[in-house]
Chain A
C-alpha cells in the first residue's frame, strides 16, 4: 500500500469532541484504493464513530490481514498502532494482543477473502472465544488485488466481469456468526453511512465479539450488471429490518420512539443501543428466529441489514478465564514468580 501523508491544514471551526480533537485528528494517510471504492466510505464511518465516541487515538489498535480491506487501517487514526499481519490471520494476532492488553480498543478490518476463505478458521474461533473486538468485514465478493476472482461470499448466479456465473453456495458471515454464537452481529452497506456509523459505535462499545459485515462494492471488478454485490443491486435489494441508535452513558434518549417498536438495550458501560424494528417480525435477541428470518430473506434475494443480533450478557475472553483487569503486559516481573525459596520447595517434588 502506498503511503501519502495528508496535509495537516484544517478548518478552525471544525467541531471538537470531548477530548478537544477534531475528526481530522482521527484521519490517516490518503487512501490508495480505487476512486469510488466502498472501503473508503467504511473508513470514513470508522473515523466518525471513534471521533464521536471520544476514544483517545493512541488507545486504539488497528488490526488487519491481507487484501484491499486490510490496507485501510493506514487510512484512519494515524496516531494509533496498526498491525497489518498475514493473510487470514488477523483474528489470532488480535487475540494475542488482547490477551496482553485488554484495555485497548481493537478494530479489526478484514475482507471476504481474508475472513471467509483463508482465514475462516480464525474468524470462527475468535467468535468462539467471544474476543472483545470490533470485527469489520468489507465484503465485495471478489479478490481485488489479484484482479477479480470470486470470493467465498459470491452469490449463486452472480456474474463476473468476464466468464461464467458463480454456482457455489456463498458463505454468509452473518448467518455463520449467528450459528457460532457471536454476541453482536450487524450488517450494513458502505453506501448508508447513517445506518453504518451507529452500528460501528455499538460494535466498539459492546464487550465481546462484534461483527459488522458491510457490503462494500468493488468498483473495478464487481460493480457491473449481473453482479449481486454492486451498488445498484445492493440498493435495490437492501432490506433494512432494525435501526440502531447508539446512546452514550448518561445521555438522555432524545428521539421519540414509538411504543412497542423501540427497544433499548443497555450495554455493560451504561450506554444504550436503541433498536427500532422496521419489520415488526424481527427479533434481534433470539438466535433462532433471527437465523430463520435471515435465511428466508436471503432465499428471497434480499440483503437484510441492521443490528441483527445482540446479547450483551455473555462474558468475553478474559472474564471467561478470570484474568486480572489490568494489562498482563504491565504486571511487574517480581510479582510473576515466587522467588528462590519457593523454587526450592517446588524442586522437592523432583527428588
Chain B
C-alpha cells in the first residue's frame, strides 16, 4: 500500500562503527522536512563489535511511540542478517551490502531485497580503513534518501552545519551520500511506494533525548551541586549538565565555576553528597539507575526522617539485579516509592517525555525544598536515551525558585528559640535553618529518634509525634505534586491509566481503539502521592486498564496501597521485555480483555 510519511526504517549495524551519526543525519533530515519522527536506539551493553539497531519511525500523525513493524530494513551486520530479514513486515524492503555474496536461503517471497555494493563503492572512493567504514554508513543514508524521496539539499545543509569546522569532511560526506543516492536511482525504482514528503508538522518542536533535557532543566533550575556515579542509562544526564555548565557557568574573566560536579566513588557516596549539599542550602541532585537506587536506599530513608531535601533522577532500566542495562522498563516504581527500611515513603515524579524531563527538573527542586524530603524523578531508558520530538522548551523569566521554609539570620535574631521539627503552620512542614546563618539556628540533624524540638529521644510518645507529623506532611505533598493528565472521550465507563513513557503508546492505542468504536477515557499519573483526582477518576469507572512496563503491576499495587483503589477494577496490561511499549500491544491486550468478558 502506498503511503506518505508513514514508514519505519530500521538499521542494523555493528556497535563502534560510527553509524550513530549517519542515523542521526537521516532522522534529522526527515524532521527538517517538517515530518514528525521518532528515533529509538537498541544497543548492547558493550563498546565494540556487537549488534546494534536504530529505528526511525516517520509518523505524519505525530505519534510518539515506536511502531511494531519494520518497512525498510538496512541490514549492515552479517551477524544479524537472518534475524533482520525475518523482522521485516510483509511487503517491506531489505537493503544489504551486496559487495559480498549473500545466502539465497535467507530470501523471503514477501520482502523485496535491494543489494547495494556499499563497501566496494566506498573502498573505491575513500582512503583509510576508518573512513571507508564511516562513509559506508553515510552511503546508505544516500540510498535511503533516494528510496524514500528525502530532500538532498536538506541533507547537505545538515552536513554543512555538522562539519562547519572541518570543511574537508563536508565534501567527502556529500560524496558518500551521492554514491548511495545515485546507485539507488540507477538500479531501483525510486521512490518506493512508502515515501516521505515535506509537510508542516515539526514547527516549534525539537528532537531531543530525556537525559539532555533533564541536564538542561537542572541548569535552568539553578542546581549547583551534582554528584553521581556512572551508570547506564543515566550517565548522559550528568554529561549534559556538565556541558551546559561549562558553557554558561564559568566566569569569562576568572574562569571560576558556579557549579560543582563530583564523580563519587559509588552511589552510596553520591546520595550522601547530595544530602550534605542540600542541607547546606544548595540545589543538588544525582542521576542514577536501578542498582544505584538500591545502594542509595539507606540515605533516602535518612533524608525522609531527618527531612533533608534531595533530587534523584532514576533513569530506569531493565531489572532485576544488573538485568539488561541497555533496555527499558518501569520496574523501580515500588522500590523508589518505599526506598529504605522503616516507615518511609517518597515523592515521585513521572515525566512522560523529554519535555517533562526539562520542566520536572524545576518542579523536583521546588518540591524537595518546599517539602524538605527526597524527590525522585522516574524517567527511563526509553525517555532518557531515545530521540523524541517535543515542543520547544520555555524558560519562565519570572520564575522564583521555591526554597521552602528556610529562616534567615534576621528571622532567627527575632525569635526566642528555634525548634527544628515543630509544625508551626499546621501543614506538617517545619522550618529549617542553614549552617553558618546564625547561632540561634543551630540544630542537630540525625537519623536517630528525635522529638519535635530536634533533640534525641527514645520516648515512645515523642517519637510517634514526629512520625505522625510526617504523615500530615505526606498529605500536604499530595496537594502540591503535579496532578494527572485526564482526558474524557465519549461517556464511557472504561479507561486506560498509565505512567511515564507508556503515554505515547497509550495515546496512539486510544486512537486505534476509537477506530473500532471503543472509546476509552484516559488518565496519566504524573506524581506520587496520588492526587485525589486520580482516586476520583478510578471511582468513576468500572474497568481501568492499568498499563505499565513491569512484570509485577507495581503502579497498580501503589494505587491500591496509596489510592485505596478497588482491586477488582484495575486490570493490568503489562509489558516487560525491555523494549519500548508500542500501541499495537496495548490495543491487542484491551481487545483480549474485552473478548474475555471484562469489558465494562
| A interface residue numbers (CB < 8 A to B) | 1-3, 56-59, 61, 63, 73-74, 78-86, 89, 91-101, 103-104, 121-122, 124-125, 129, 318, 321-325, 327-331, 333, 335-340, 342-344, 346-347, 350-351
In chain B, positions 393-415 with a C-beta closer than 8 Å to chain A are: 393-395, 397, 400-401
Q: Contacts A80-B435, A100-B276, A337-B220; is A350 near B257 (CB within 8 Å)? A: no
B336 within 8 A of A: no
Q: How far is the CA of A59 from the CA of B212 in the complex (A)?
A: 37
Question: Could you list some 8 contacts between A and B, CB below 8 A?
Answer: A61-B435, A82-B442, A84-B445, A104-B435, A327-B281, A336-B219, A337-B395, A351-B28
B31 touches A337 (CB 8 A): no
Choose one: B259, B394, B439; the contact of A328 (CB below 8 Å). B259
Instruction: Check A331/B258 contact, CB under 8 A, given A3-B456, A85-B302.
Output: yes
Q: Does B280 contact A (CB under 8 A)?
A: yes
Across the interface, name the chain A residue whose C-beta is closest to B249.
A336
CB neighbours (8 Å) of A92 from chain B are 227, 264, 268-273, 276
Contact A323 B392 (CB under 8 A): no
**B260 contacts A99, CB within 8 Å?**
yes
Q: A92-B268, A96-B272, A121-B266 given as contacts; is B222 within 8 A of A333 (CB)?
A: yes
Whether B255 sits at the interface, judged by CB under 8 Å, is yes
17 additional contacts (CB under 8 A) given A92-B272, A322-B257: A3-B455, A56-B439, A58-B435, A84-B444, A86-B299, A96-B225, A96-B277, A97-B277, A99-B284, A100-B282, A327-B436, A328-B258, A329-B277, A329-B280, A333-B222, A339-B395, A343-B220
Q: How far is the CA of A175 from the CA of B392 in the complex (A)?
A: 56
B271 surroundings in chain A (CB, below 8 A): 92
The answer on a CB contact under 8 Å between B439 and A96 is: no
- Whether A86 touches B31, Cβ cut-off 8 Å, given contacts A80-B435, A97-B277, A347-B206, is no
Q: B364 to chain A: closest CB distance in Å?
A: 15
Docked Cα-Cα span, A165 to B89, in Å, equals: 73
Q: Please measure, in the bound complex, the distance between the C-alpha atom of A59 and the C-alpha atom of B435, giving whole angstroms.
A: 7
A57-B439 in contact (CB<8A): yes
Q: Mark each residue of chain B from 430 to 450: 1 if its CB lies under 8 Å from any CB of chain A, else 0.
A: 000111111111111111100
Are A340 and B394 touching (Cβ within 8 A)?
yes
Chain A residues near B278 (CB-CB < 8 A): 96, 100
A96-B272, A100-B224, A100-B276 known; A329-B281 Cβ under 8 A: yes
- Which chain B positions have C-beta within 8 A of A333? 222, 400-401
User: In the complex the two chains form, is B448's CB within 8 Å of A84's CB?
Assistant: yes
Q: Which residues of chain A have C-beta atoms less than 8 A from B444's C-beta? A: 73-74, 81-82, 84
Task: Tell me the bound Cα distance from A74 to B206 in angstroms.
Answer: 54
Inside 8 A of A93's CB, which chain B residues have their CB? 272-273, 275-276, 279
Any A CB within 8 A of the CB of B256: yes
Partner of B299, one of A89, A124, A351: A89
When distances are taken between beta carbons in the complex, the residues of chain B under 8 Å from A336 are 219, 222, 224, 249, 258
Most buried by A among B259, B435, B438: B435
Q: Does B265 contact A (CB under 8 A)?
A: yes
Q: A2-B456, A121-B266 are in contact. Are A323 and B225 (CB under 8 A)?
A: no
Count chain B CB atoms within 10 A of each CB in A58, A84, A100 and give the residue with the most.
Answer: A100
Q: Are A318 and B260 in contact (CB under 8 A)?
A: yes
Residue of A nearest to B32 (CB): A351
Most buried by B among A79, A85, A99, A346: A99
In the assembled complex, the Cα of A350 lies from the Cα of B208 at a distance in Å of: 6
Give Cα A343 to B397, complex, Å. 11
Minimum C-beta distance from B353 to chain A (A): 13
Q: Tell me which residues across on chain B come within 8 A of A58, comparing CB atoms.
A: 435-439, 441-442
Q: Does B262 contact A (CB under 8 A)?
A: yes
Chain B 213-256: CB-based contact to A (< 8 A → 1; otherwise 0): 00010011110110100000000000000001000110100111
Compute how far the CA of A80 lies from the CA of B444 in the bound complex, rounded to whole angstroms: 8
> Which chain B positions have C-beta within 8 A of A339?
395, 397
CB of B182 within 8 A of chain A?
Answer: no
CA distance A329 to B277 in the complex (A): 8
Task: Kindly state the separation between the CA atoms of A95 and B278 in the bound complex, as whole angstroms.
Answer: 12
Chain A to chain B: the 8 pairs with minimum beta-carbon distance, closest first: A96-B276, A92-B272, A96-B273, A100-B282, A329-B281, A97-B276, A100-B280, A350-B206
CA separation between A350 and B388, bound complex, in Å? Answer: 10
In the bound complex, residues from chain A placing their C-beta under 8 Å from that of B58 are: none
Q: Which residue of A lies closest to B259 (CB)?
A: A328
Asked if B281 and A343 sit within 8 Å, CB to CB, the answer is no
Chain B positions near chain A (C-beta within 8 angstroms): 28, 31-32, 206-208, 212, 216, 219-222, 224-225, 227, 244, 248-249, 251, 254-260, 262, 264-266, 268-282, 284, 298-299, 302, 392-395, 397, 400-401, 433-448, 455-457
B142 to chain A, nearest CB (A): 22
Query: B440 contacts which chain A residues (CB < 8 A)?
Result: 79
In the docked arrangement, what's the CA distance between A347 and B279, Å?
Answer: 33
How many angstroms between the C-alpha atoms of A96 and B207 in the bound complex?
A: 34
Q: Across the interface, do A101 and B248 meet the contact criterion of CB distance under 8 Å?
A: no
Q: Which of A1, A96, A98, A329 contacts B456 (CB 8 A)?
A: A1
Complex Cα spacing A158 to B444, Å: 36
Instruction: Quote the shortest CB–CB distance from A208 to chain B (angstroms).
Output: 16
Contacts A57-B439, A121-B265 given: A95-B434 contact, CB under 8 Å? no
Given contacts A321-B257, A351-B207, contact A98 B439 (CB under 8 A): no
Task: Select one of A63, A100, A124, A325 contacting B225, CB under 8 A.
Answer: A100
Chain A residues within an 8 Å CB radius of B251: 324
Contact A121 B456, beta carbon cutoff 8 Å: no
Structural contact, A121 and B269, CB atoms closer than 8 A? yes
| Partner among B31, B208, B258, B446 whose Cβ is within 8 Å of the Cβ of A335 | B258
Chain B CB count within 10 A is highest, among A81, A104, A347, for A81
How distant is the Cα of A79 from the Cα of B280 in the complex, in angstroms? 16
Q: Given A329-B282, A336-B249, A101 and B258 touching (CB < 8 A)?
A: no
* CA A222 to CA B275, docked complex, whole Å: 35
Least Cβ distance of A229 to chain B in Å?
26
Which residues of B sit under 8 angstroms from A318, Cβ to Cβ? 260
Pairwise interchain contact B280-A96, C-beta atoms closer than 8 A = yes
Q: List the B side residues contacting A83 at CB < 8 Å.
A: 276, 279, 445
Q: Chain A residues near B441 (CB, 8 Å)?
A: 58, 81
Q: Cβ of B260 and Cβ of A122 under 8 Å apart?
A: no
Q: Which residues of A contact B259 (CB under 8 A)?
A: 323, 328
Choose from B28, B282, B395, B457 the contact partner of A343 (Cβ within 8 Å): B395
Supposing A58-B442, A79-B442, A81-B443 touch, asked if A99 and B272 sit within 8 A by C-beta, the answer is: no
Q: A101 is contacted by which of B255, B268, B436 (Cβ under 8 Å)? A: B436
Residues of A within 8 A of B28 (CB): 351
What's the least CB distance linking B318 to chain A, in Å? 27
Complex CA gap A330/B435 in Å reads: 12
Q: How far is the CB of A134 from chain B (nearest CB, A)?
A: 15
Least CB separation from A25: chain B residue? B439
Contact between A96 and B268, CB atoms less than 8 A apart? no
Across the interface, B302 reaches (CB within 8 A) one of A86, A96, A104, A125, namely A86
B456 / chain A contacts, CB cutoff of 8 Å: 1-3, 74
Cα-based distance from A347 to B208 in the complex (angstroms):
9
Would you call B282 and A99 a contact (CB within 8 A)?
Answer: yes
| Closest residue of A by beta carbon distance from B255 | A322
Known: A93-B273, A323-B256. A338 touches B248 (CB 8 A): yes
